[in-house]
């Protein structure tokens, strides 16, 4: 078990990188997922079809395949995803700005994939709001956007937040796939490095890595339970 102490810096480095991917991917997936959700409930049929197609594609494709598409497809199209070198962000999250694009590729894949699930979590929340609420808002003359913003979304949030949390927890665990592309050096890649290259026993390393993921996911789960309880009281 000495590896946990001796190589603490490697674990910590992997943890920090995974946390970076997850923070960025969560922000990206929530934004993109919200946009896709608005498309899916929009009154304009072509927009609805666009949103539905997005969800059908990315919810039904294995994440591994999406990652392969990002890692090999984007370079084939001549893109190093340089649009993600966002000025202020890339000083906070240094990997966004490096010349090696794999962090950005992994991020794109994770955002595209997770956004489909975020969309469905948001939409289930919208569907939980009684139809009469939106009808009353329409009858007052609120536009579709105002209706969503002032009436439907504030109420759907309550029903969305718990499934949304589950989606983010799943995303944190899914981020481990990025490591097995051997390209990012995140928490899951730590295992590869320590057992393969440096010859440490597998089990202690795996325990260290599991603890790293649990540190990210368990508090999130606890937070969700709290939110759920508080809502139960509010009703």
Partner 1 sequence: MDDVTTGEPLIVLDAVNKWFGPLHVLDDVSLSVGRGEVVVVIGPSGSGKSTLCRAINRLEPINSGTITFDGQPLPAEGKPLAKLRSEVGMVFQSFNLFAHKTILENVTLGPIKVRKEKPAAARERGLALLDRVGIANQADKFPAQLSGGQQQRVAIARALAMQPKAMLFDEPTSALDPEMVGEVLDVMTSLASDGMTMVVVTHEMGFARHAANRVIFMADGQLVEDAPPAEFFANPRSERARDFLSKILTH
Choosing from 89, 128, 136, 207, the residue that interacts with partner 1 (CB under 8 A) is: 136
Burial class (CB in 10 A: 0-12, 13-18, 19+), 70: buried
Cα(25)–Cα(22) distance, rounded to whole angstroms? 5
CB of 65 to partner 1, least distance (A): 39
Cα(60)–Cα(54) distance, rounded to whole angstroms? 10
CB-nearer residue toward partner 1: 154 or 219 = 154
Check residue 139 for interaction with partner 1 (CB under 8 A): yes
Q: Confirm if 42 and 51 have CB atoms less than 8 A apart.
A: yes
Choosing from 62, 75, 154, 219, the residue that interacts with partner 1 (CB under 8 A) is: 154
Choices 54-62, 103-111, 135-143, 175-183; region in contact with partner 1 by CB under 8 A: 135-143
CB of 153 to partner 1, least distance (A): 10
CB-nearer residue toward partner 1: 43 or 78 = 43
174-177 LR contacts (CB < 8 Å, sep 24+): 174/63, 174/110, 174/113, 174/114, 175/18, 175/21, 175/22, 175/25, 175/106, 175/110, 176/18, 176/213, 177/63, 177/64, 177/67
CB-nearer residue toward partner 1: 98 or 127 = 127
Choices 5-13, 74-82, 97-105, 126-134; region in contact with partner 1 by CB under 8 A: 126-134
CA 133 from chain center: how many Å? 30
Choosing from 24, 32, 151, 184, the residue that interacts with partner 1 (CB under 8 A) is: 151
CB of 1 to partner 1, least distance (A): 52
CB of 152 to partner 1, least distance (A): 10
CB of 154 to partner 1, least distance (A): 5
Choices 2-10, 46-54, 85-93, 129-137; region in contact with partner 1 by CB under 8 A: 129-137
Choosing from 2, 9, 43, 77, the residue that interacts with partner 1 (CB under 8 A) is: 43
Check residue 150 for interaction with partner 1 (CB under 8 A): yes
DSSP 183: -
Percentages (nearest 5) of helix, strand, coil residues in the chain: 85, 0, 15
Q: On the CB side of 133, how many CA atoms lie within 13 Å of its CA?
A: 16
CB of 106 to partner 1, least distance (A): 38
DSSP 73: I
Check residue 137 for interaction with partner 1 (CB under 8 A): yes
Contact positions vs partner 1 (CB under 8 A):
43, 130, 132-133, 135-143, 146, 150-151, 154-155
């Amino acid at each position: 078990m000495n590896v946990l102490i001796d190589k603490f810096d490697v674990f910590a480095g992997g943890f920090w990188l995974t946390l970076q991917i997850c923070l960025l991917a969560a922000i990206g997936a929530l934004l993109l997922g919200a946009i896709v959700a608005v498309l899916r409930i929009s009154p304009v049929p072509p927009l609805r079809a666009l949103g539905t197609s997005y969800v059908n594609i990315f919810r039904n494709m294995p994440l591994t395949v999406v990652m392969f598409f990002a890692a090999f497809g984007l370079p084939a199209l001549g893109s190093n995803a340089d649009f993600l070198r966002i000025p202020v962000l890339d000083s906070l999250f240094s990997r966004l700005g490096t010349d090696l694009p794999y962090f950005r590729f992994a991020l794109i894949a994770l955002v595209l994939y997770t956004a489909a699930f975020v969309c469905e979590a948001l939409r289930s929340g919208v569907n939980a709001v009684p139809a009469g609420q939106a009808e009353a808002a329409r009858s007052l003359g609120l536009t579709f956007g105002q209706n969503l913003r002032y009436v439907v979304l504030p109420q759907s949030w309550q029903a969305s937040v718990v499934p949304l949390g589950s989606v983010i927890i799943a995303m944190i665990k899914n981020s481990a796939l990025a490591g097995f592309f051997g390209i990012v050096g995140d928490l899951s890649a730590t295992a590869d490095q320590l057992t393969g290259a440096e010859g440490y026993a597998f089990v202690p390393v795996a325990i260290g890595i599991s603890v790293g993921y649990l540190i990210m996911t368990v508090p999130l789960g606890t937070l969700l339970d709290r939110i759920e309880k508080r809502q139960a009281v509010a009703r």
